[in-house]
Amino acid sequence: MKRGTYQSGVFKLSLNRKEPVKSAAALHYLLYGDIQNQYFFNDSLAYRYYRRALEIGENHREVATENAALQRLLGLLLRKPKKLSLYKQYLARYQGQQQGEEDYFWTSYYKLSFRLNSDYLKTTSVEVFQPDLNYYRETFDSLERLEVSKYSRAAGYQMRGIYCDLIAKEPAMGAEYFIKAQRELAAIGWFYSEVKLLRAQVNEGIALKLEGDYQGAIKQFMRGIQNAHFDRSGYVKEVVYQNLSDCYGALRQHDSAHVYLKKRNQVNTTLGNLRVTENIFIYDYEQQLKQVGEVNKQLTSQQYLLLAGAAILAIGMIIVYRKWKRTHQRKQVLESENERVKEEIKTIRSLVDRDRIVLKNKAFIHLEDLRYIKVEDHYLWFYTASKREFERGKLKDILLELPPNFVRCHRSYIVNKNYIEQRSHKEVKLDGEIYIPISRMYKDEF
C-alpha cells in the first residue's frame, strides 16, 4: 500500500474514512487479508482474516473496525453466488451501522451490485426479461449526488459503466463512465485504487469493442497491459488476451488473433461463475480456435507461406522486445515493491514494539519481552525473562488483544511463537528451559 494508507503508524481504511482502526491485532488481520485477496487470490484465507478482524471489532465495540471488515467480506461474497444467505446477513448488518453518506453509498452499492448480477444472469437465461431501467438510472443518479470520497465515486462510475454495457446496451455511454472512473482513481495513487484502475482500463476496452471501435479497444487493452498490476492479475490477463484476439479477428488480422488466443490459453487461472462487478466474460475458446483455423485454411499456400514467414519474423522481434521490456519493468516494480514492503513491515513492527500490557497496579509488560501467559484460579500470570506479574482475567479475552505471534496451545497457556526453540506433539520448549504442554484441541495452531 502506498503512502497515505498509513498515517502516524495507524492503519486508515481504504475508503478515505476519518475513523482509524485502533486495534493492532485488527490491523494485522485486515492487512493480511488484503494481501491474500489482492496478491494471492486466496479467498478462503482472506475470509478467515477478515472474520477475525470483525470479531475484534465486535469485542472492542469499534464500529470503524467492524465496517472495514464487513466491506471486505461483502466484496468477497459478491463473487460467490452460493453464499447468498451469508451475503444478505452481512449486508443487513452493515446497513444497520450506517454513520454517514459514505456508509449509505456502500450499502446502496452492494445492493445494486447484487441486483445487477441477478438481472444480467436473467437476461442470458430467460427468453423474455425486461430489467427496470428507470430503477437503475434513479439509483445511480442518487449515488452521484452524495458527498463521498474519490475512491467511492470511482466505484460508482465503474458500476454504471458495467450497467451501460450489460443491461442498457449502451457501450458508448459505458466507455464515458469508465473514463470518469479512471480519472478519479488516478488522482488517488493508493494500492487499492491502482488495482481498480487496471480493471477500469480493461472495462473501457470492452466497451469500445462492443461499440465496434476495435482499434480503440486494442489501444486501451495495451494500456492495461502496461499497468504494474497486470502480471499479478490472472483473470484480468485472460480477459485482455481474449478480447485482443476478438478485436484482431474482427479486423481480419488472424495471425495476431491466433497469437493472443494462444496466450490466453497459457494463463494458468481458474474462473468461477460470471463476475459481473468486474466485467469478466466467459467465452467458448475452443470454437474460436476452430474458426481461426478455418480462415487460415482458406488462404492459398503461397499467401500462407508469405504470411507465416512475416508473422514469425514479427513475432520473434516482438517477443525479444517484450521480454526485454517486461524484464526491465518487472525489475523496477520488484524494487519499488521491496521498498514498500520493507516500509510496511517497519511500520507494523513499530506498532507492535510500542504495544504493552498495562496492569491495574500500574506495572506494564512489553509484548516483545512476554514469553508466555498462564491462567490459574481466575488470574492471568505474565512471564518474562526477568519477572512475572498477575492480573485477574481470562485467556480468551487477552488473546484478542495480542498480535498473531501469540497463540493458545493449552486451556491454561498462551505462548509467544518468537521464543519457541523446540516442539513435539506433547509440548513446546521456550528459551530458558521452559516447557509448556500442548493439548489436542490447540495442536493445529502450530
**Maximum distance among all Cα pairs of the chain, rounded to whole angstroms:** 93
Determine contact, residues 402/368, Cβ cutoff 8 Å.
no
pLDDT at 293: 57
| Confidence class for position 279, pLDDT limits 50, 70, 90 | very low
Q: Give the CA distances from residue 111 to residues 54, 66, 74, 75, 330, in Å, rounded to whole numbers and listed in that order.
A: 21, 19, 10, 12, 38
Contacts for 93 with CB less than 8 Å, ≥ 6 apart = 70
CA distance 280 to 181: 18
Separation CA 238–CA 278 (nearest Å): 13
pLDDT tens, position by position, 405-420: 899 999 999 999 999 9
Name the pairing type of β-strands 413-416 and 372-376.
Answer: antiparallel
Across 208-227, average pLDDT: 90
30-34, 184-188, 274-278, 351-355: the lowest-pLDDT one = 274-278
What does pLDDT average to over the chain?
78
The model's pLDDT over 4-53, given as tens digits with 9 standing for 90+, comes to 333 322 333 433 344 444 567 887 888 888 777 766 667 888 888 888 88
Q: How confident is the model at residue 282 (pLDDT cuts 50, 70, 90)?
A: very low
Please give the pLDDT value at position 219.
92
Q: CA-to-CA distance for 253 and 292, rounded, in angstroms? A: 10
Burial class for 125, CB neighbours closer than 10 Å (0-12, 13-18, 19+)? exposed
Q: pLDDT tens-digit profile of 96-130?
A: 877 788 888 888 888 888 888 778 777 776 556 68
Residue ranges of the alpha helices (H) in 126-229?
A: 133-144, 150-166, 171-186, 191-211, 214-226
Instruction: Give the tens place of pLDDT for each residue, 314-358.
Output: 888 888 888 888 888 888 888 887 777 566 445 434 433 456 888
Query: Of how many residues is the chain composed?
Result: 446
CB environment 59-81: b (16+ within 10 A), e (fewer)? ebebebbbbbbbbbbbbbbbbeb
For residues 128-140, average pLDDT: 84
Q: Could you read off the pLDDT of 387-400 as tens digits, one per residue?
A: 899 988 888 888 88
